[in-house]
């Protein structure tokens, strides 16, 4: 598919500098651009590449002042990064619009309700009383258990398993290998030392505009729902335990784990490999640095914490600064001890 500079500028509300008939059929980084590609410049550190790139069209900022002439046609916008992302999403949607229909072999239970323009790939299993909205795409080896609901315009990539009674919203993107609705980690210790499984009777509810990375595990609730609220983004390899609630527009980086019944607020940022204990609350806007260990609630909004156990960021930085100075402080203490010892000996000599 080819697009002209005029078509692109119209789509992203940009202003053209150069030939509006210039056409492109691919995307590239500005430093790797070649003829027929469109690229973008958002970071000033890469401006030198603008004057050397072979890309045919480059999306740049309205406020960029050129140091020399450029070969590509420029499209000026207020936010090059956001505009380029919009173009990529549009192109991705065009590529997938021809995926419609039910491939074989696959299994779709007769009681399932299938919306319009749905794509169900080969080796997919759709269980009893499943409800699938319009424009949904299920890639190969997707499993939808009995009673699952999937909203409109949702894409579920290969090998995703969604257990019974779980609910997926509209415009959700779930990447390969993710498991939603597996049993929560609930076991009751017995007097004889064994652990007896506690039935996990709840479900998982994923609201609209959520993106879930590859190989994420979200456990079903013991009772009620484990909930991922609107607009939240989960990176690859994230673990969400039973009865957790993750607020709106929260982001969780790879290998983070959230233990059972913890409530995460809105607009929270959780760094990679962070661990959060169960039955606590994280306030709106909190920022948790990577590899932090959260052992108690964060109750004040917009707090930044770091370390394990984690504590307030500025205090942690001051503590780290002191920690780095400990060898010098130890040396000074020993010098002071020696000086005190000498002074005491001199005092004893004088008194005698």
Return d(Cα 172, Cα 208) in angstroms, integer. Answer: 6
Based on the domain organization, do 215 and 264 belong to the same domain?
A: yes
Q: pLDDT digit string (tens) for 107-153? A: 999 999 999 999 999 999 999 999 999 999 999 999 999 999 999 99
Based on the domain organization, do 246 and 331 belong to the same domain?
A: no
Based on the domain organization, do 164 and 305 belong to the same domain?
A: yes
Based on the domain organization, do 270 and 164 belong to the same domain?
A: yes
Share of residues in the chain with pLDDT > 90 (%):
85
Q: pLDDT digit string (tens) for 242-298? A: 999 999 999 999 999 999 999 999 999 999 999 999 999 999 999 999 999 999 999
Specify if 154 maps to a domain: no
Based on the domain organization, do 273 and 346 belong to the same domain?
A: no
Based on the domain organization, do 185 and 290 belong to the same domain?
A: yes
Total tally of structural domains belonging to the chain: 3
Which residue blocks in 67-137 are alpha helix, DSSP H?
80-96
Based on the domain organization, do 68 and 202 belong to the same domain?
A: no
Domain of residue 85 covers: 3-96
| pLDDT at 319 (0 to 100) | 78
The residue among 96, 119, 141 that closes a domain is: 96
Specify if 151 maps to a domain: no
Report the half-sphere exposure of 306 (CA within 13 A, side-chain side).
Answer: 11
Specify if 137 maps to a domain: no
Residues 11, 242, 267, 279: which is the catalytic one?
A: 242
Report the half-sphere exposure of 28 (CA within 13 A, side-chain side).
Answer: 20
Question: Of the candidates 140, 138, 176, which has an alpha carbon nearest to the alpha carbon of residue 155?
Answer: 138
Specify if 142 maps to a domain: no
| pLDDT at 189 (0 to 100) | 95
Residues 6+ apart with CB under 8 A from 112: 126, 127, 128, 129, 130, 131, 132
Question: Of the candidates 273, 272, 253, 270, which has an alpha carbon nearest to the alpha carbon of residue 262?
Answer: 270
Based on the domain organization, do 262 and 175 belong to the same domain?
A: yes
pLDDT of 312 over the 90 cut: no
Specify if 149 maps to a domain: no
Question: DSSP readout, 296-346?
Answer: S-B-STT-EEETTTTEEHHHHHHHHHHHHTHHHHHHHHHHHHHHHHHHHHH
- Phi and psi, residue 7, nearest 5°: -60, -40
Based on the domain organization, do 227 and 276 belong to the same domain?
A: yes
**Location of structure tokens 């204990």:** 277
| Joined tokens for residue 48 | 């030198």
| pLDDT at 313 (0 to 100) | 74
* CA dihedral for 158, 163, 169, 170, sign (positive or negative): positive
Q: β-strand 225-228 against 137-138: which pairing, if any?
A: unpaired
- Provide the residue count of the chain: 352
How many other CB atoms are there within 10 angstroms of residue 249's CB atom?
Answer: 15
- Max CA pair span of the chain: 107
DSSP 83: H
| pLDDT at 33 (0 to 100) | 95
Give the residue-averaged pLDDT of 144-170: 98
Based on the domain organization, do 300 and 349 belong to the same domain?
A: no
CATH number at residue 35: 3.40.1390.10
Based on the domain organization, do 168 and 290 belong to the same domain?
A: yes
**Location of structure tokens 């009673």:** 147
Which residue blocks in 73-196 are alpha helix, DSSP H?
80-96
Mean pLDDT for the chain? 95
Residues 6+ apart with CB under 8 A from 7: none
Based on the domain organization, do 299 and 347 belong to the same domain?
A: no
Specify if 135 maps to a domain: no
Between the alpha carbon of residue 328 and those of residues 43, 313, 316, 322, 334, the distances in Å are 41, 24, 20, 10, 10
The residue among 58, 77, 96 that closes a domain is: 96
Q: Contact 133/113 with Cβ under 8 angstroms?
A: no
Catalytic residue list contains 175 = no
The residue among 96, 126, 152 that closes a domain is: 96
Question: Of the candidates 178, 162, 181, 185, which has an alpha carbon nearest to the alpha carbon of residue 227?
Answer: 181
CATH number at residue 226: 2.160.10.10
Q: β-strand 173-174 against 179-182: which pairing, if any?
A: unpaired
Return d(Cα 196, Cα 187) in angstroms, integer. Answer: 5
Specify if 301 maps to a domain: yes
Return d(Cα 135, Cα 325) in angstroms, integer. Answer: 60
Q: Contact 183/161 with Cβ under 8 angstroms?
A: no
How many other CB atoms are there within 10 angstroms of residue 113's CB atom?
Answer: 11
Specify if 126 maps to a domain: no
pLDDT of 97 over the 70 cut: no
């Amino acid at each position: 598919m080819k697009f002209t500079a005029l078509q692109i500028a119209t789509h992203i509300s940009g202003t053209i500098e150069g030939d509006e008939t210039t056409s492109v059929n691919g995307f590239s980084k500005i430093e790797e651009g070649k003829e027929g590609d469109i690229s973008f410049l958002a970071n000033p550190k890469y401006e030198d590449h603008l004057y050397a790139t072979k890309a045919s069209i480059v999306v740049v900022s309205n406020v960029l002042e050129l140091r020399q002439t450029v070969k590509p046609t420029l499209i000026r916008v207020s936010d090059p990064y956001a505009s380029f992302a919009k173009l990529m999403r549009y192109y991705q949607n065009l590529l997938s619009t021809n995926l419609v229909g039910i491939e074989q072999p696959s299994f779709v239970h007769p009681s399932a309700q299938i919306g319009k323009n749905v794509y169900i790939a080969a080796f997919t299993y759709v269980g009893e009383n499943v409800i699938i909205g319009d424009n949904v795409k299920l890639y190969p080896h997707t499993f939808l258990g009995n009673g699952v609901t999937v909203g409109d315009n949702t894409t579920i990539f290969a090998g995703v398993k969604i257990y019974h009674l779980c609910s997926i919203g509209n415009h959700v993107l779930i990447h390969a290998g993710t498991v939603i609705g597996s049993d929560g980690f609930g076991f009751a210790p017995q007097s004889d030392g064994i652990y007896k499984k506690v039935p996990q009777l709840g479900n998982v509810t994923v609201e609209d505009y959520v993106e879930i990375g590859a190989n994420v595990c979200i456990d079903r609730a013991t009772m009620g729902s484990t909930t991922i609220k609107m607009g939240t983004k989960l990176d690859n390899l994230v673990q969400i335990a039973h009865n957790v609630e993750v607020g709106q527009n929260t982001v969780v980086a790879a290998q983070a784990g959230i233990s059972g019944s913890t409530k995460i607020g809105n607009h929270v940022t959780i760094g990679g490999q962070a661990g959060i204990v169960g039955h606590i609350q994280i306030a709106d806007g909190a920022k948790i640095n990577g590899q932090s260990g959260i052992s108690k609630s964060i109750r004040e909004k917009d707090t930044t914490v770091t370390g394990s156990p984690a504590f307030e960021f500025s205090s942690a930085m001051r503590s780290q600064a002191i920690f780095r100075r400990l060898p010098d402080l130890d040396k000074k203490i020993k010098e002071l001890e020696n000086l005190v010892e000498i002074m005491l000996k001199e005092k004893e000599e004088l008194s005698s």
